[in-house]
Structure 1
């Protein structure tokens, strides 16, 4: 009787606050006001006017939301889960959304999943995916990318929204640049990293403006089966013959998840955890620069047996005097190698950055190359491949 009397008193109080109106919409603020003043009465208020509180859940305290969620109020459960997510308390949030996820509206499901993906809660996303609950939307697309799924699974609209492409077909070389570079990756982090590298390069072009132009980032999934063999990143470029390549491009940057960076045949292999300085170091390899640490034995067997300028930064003084100011280099074990500077450079230790001396050497090499740069099409030809080169597609693209 005491409880019933309390409810009656509550009704009378709320009606008086609402100017004695029988319309819930007219005195909804009164319900909310009273709930805030008397948290212990939130459940009773919910029974009296659930719609009134459902439209004002974001104004309630966590304690009030918890009491409503315990009454199986789906909107309160969702609001409570999101509130914990926003605080970064993912374990507490999961206690509320995990068992009620199917009861949320489609929009609520998408928003919650998007929040999980944005916070990189991939274990939770994986659980939703395995249970068939992950809704269509950005979270699912992000999950597909993290799994390096085929490009057919990636929405063109999502790709456009996140500024990458799924096909080589529409890429065009920039005629004002000395060299045009295709930017390709097989995983999600590679997309973000390549965009960052491109943005950073364009903010300070090296060695000068219009030296290199970079394409939009192309997601190719696992088309070229890149992997780390003996910690050296490499890809199966024999697959290149199955695709159409845009005309006018000179080099490829292929970014994967692991393996040490290297340049082979006009193709840079680099992983997405490596810093921009490594990218710049590898970019110089496109123009013939050699490493200034001890070269691999196999390379020494042919390179270090030559004479004179074998690279912009390497001189072999077999029967010739080295250029004035050049210093001994450890690149070759025969003690005949020289480099331009006594100091460490970006070609010996990437994090040293690009000095003015090496910037000038790089620019000179572009304007007056010692040797012709090896382009990726040259490498394909070396492999015996004959891929189609055209601005228009005649074979399947990565998104087919």
Structure 2
């Protein structure tokens, strides 16, 4: 009876658009008749596929209806059933429209289904768009592969061009990374710092995040993150910046020559700890033997938080420190601090010490250009007037 009724509706050519809601209504009420209805009025159902049940979509997809196949795959993706989704999109991906391919690939990338994205990439099927750009970043590909529009949309930059130091800040810091997770993490660190500046407002200003790909060949050596800064001479650096934060994928955090090396899995507390190293603070756990050989042989205030009482009395209230093995080292507090255990957070006592060090430094902070000079490098410095991109 239902099929007869629908056939009567289909007898008049102009009635398809007029009675489209009726076709959809019957398809919803009688799922078993979806195929019959599809044969009668394919265009009517094709415009209403999102209203059909999964079972109805499956039956239409089995008839090789491309739109139903796409809709079914997307429905499984939205439910997080990636295996079921792949059963439908993998063999029909080339038949999807370009817009459908982009939307499906973007959904896979947003859900970090990198194995599926890799498969599309290897087969030459990954369409241009956000998914492909995300994949390029995931592979740390050269900046020439990243579109400026994508970078602007995701709030990072591809070169040092146009970066300007903020004159109101004591120190300006370049934020650089070689991989996708680093972009997201550095943006979060910057946002968190700006929501609560330490040790006070305008102590540090951070640049936009700069994606530099693998130009500095950062890696973990003996679990210590390090980069090849001899490559720095090939690039033009913006004037007015004091320090660099370079974020890579692995290796323990450290500061050397005004450059913080940190990986994207480390928490904000570690970032804050390393930031204090820029201003001369020392670790309060036992220092490396090589460092002790010269630092612990001195006397007096050798750092804002380290006093060597060789022939002098330590400041009132300072306590023994394990930083040096000579039993002559003292630190400001008997308690653990952020410089001994990063996750302790910044106490008010150390905040005040930090502020004092900025206002009345014991020693001049080592800036990254000082380190470059120590390496024998003479990179160009610009006021952001030279176009330059970190590309091969």
Deviation at 1:111, TM superposition (A): 0.2
Asked whether the 8 Å contact 1:148–1:186 carries over to 2, the reply is: yes
Deviation at 1:10, TM superposition (A): 3.9
**Which stretch of the first structure deviates more once superposed, 18-27 or 244-253?**
18-27
* Separation of aligned partners in 2, 1:396 and 1:341: 47
CA change 1:112–1:86 in 2 (3 A) is same
Asked whether the 8 Å contact 2:163–2:384 carries over to 1, the reply is: no
CA change 1:245–1:354 in 2 (3 A) is same
Asked whether the 8 Å contact 2:161–2:386 carries over to 1, the reply is: no
* Separation of aligned partners in 2, 1:199 and 1:111: 30
* Separation of aligned partners in 2, 1:19 and 1:205: 73
Asked whether the 8 Å contact 1:233–1:270 carries over to 2, the reply is: yes
* Separation of aligned partners in 2, 1:296 and 1:327: 20
Deviation at 1:13, TM superposition (A): 1.1
> 1:119-138 CA deviation, whole Å, 9 max, x = no partner?
00000000000000000000
Asked whether the 8 Å contact 1:284–1:362 carries over to 2, the reply is: yes
Secondary structure of the residue that 2:327 maps to in structure 1?
Answer: coil
* Separation of aligned partners in 1, 2:366 and 2:145: 35
Deviation at 1:16, TM superposition (A): 6.0
* Separation of aligned partners in 1, 2:174 and 2:34: 60
* Separation of aligned partners in 1, 2:339 and 2:142: 36
Asked whether the 8 Å contact 2:9–2:15 carries over to 1, the reply is: no
Deviation at 1:396, TM superposition (A): 4.1
* Separation of aligned partners in 1, 2:291 and 2:221: 18
* Separation of aligned partners in 1, 2:356 and 2:109: 47
Asked whether the 8 Å contact 2:244–2:259 carries over to 1, the reply is: yes
> 1:224-259 CA deviation, whole Å, 9 max, x = no partner?
000000000000000000000000000000000000
Asked whether the 8 Å contact 1:331–1:337 carries over to 2, the reply is: yes
* Separation of aligned partners in 2, 1:186 and 1:309: 37
**Which stretch of the first structure deviates more once superposed, 384-393 or 197-206?**
384-393
Secondary structure of the residue that 2:19 maps to in structure 1?
Answer: helix
Deviation at 1:169, TM superposition (A): 1.1
Asked whether the 8 Å contact 1:265–1:375 carries over to 2, the reply is: yes
Deviation at 1:322, TM superposition (A): 0.2
* Separation of aligned partners in 1, 2:13 and 2:155: 54
* Separation of aligned partners in 2, 1:392 and 1:363: 30
Could you tell me which runs of 5 or more consecutive residues in structure 1 were left unpaired when the two chains were aligned. Answer: 1-8
Deviation at 1:22, TM superposition (A): 4.0
* Separation of aligned partners in 2, 1:269 and 1:392: 24
* Separation of aligned partners in 2, 1:10 and 1:342: 85
Asked whether the 8 Å contact 1:15–1:21 carries over to 2, the reply is: no
> 1:333-391 CA deviation, whole Å, 9 max, x = no partner?
00100000000000000000000000000000000000000000000000000000012
* Separation of aligned partners in 2, 1:353 and 1:48: 69
> 1:109-159 CA deviation, whole Å, 9 max, x = no partner?
000000000000000000000000000000000000000000000000000
Asked whether the 8 Å contact 1:244–1:393 carries over to 2, the reply is: no
Kindly report which structure 2 residues correspond to 1:1-400, keeping only aligned pairs within 5 A, or say none: 9-14=1-6, 22-394=14-386, 396-399=388-391
Deviation at 1:17, TM superposition (A): 6.7
Asked whether the 8 Å contact 2:159–2:388 carries over to 1, the reply is: no
Asked whether the 8 Å contact 2:286–2:323 carries over to 1, the reply is: yes
Asked whether the 8 Å contact 1:18–1:30 carries over to 2, the reply is: no
* Separation of aligned partners in 1, 2:301 and 2:58: 75
* Separation of aligned partners in 1, 2:389 and 2:110: 30
Q: How many residues align?
A: 392
Deviation at 1:89, TM superposition (A): 0.2
* Separation of aligned partners in 2, 1:59 and 1:160: 36
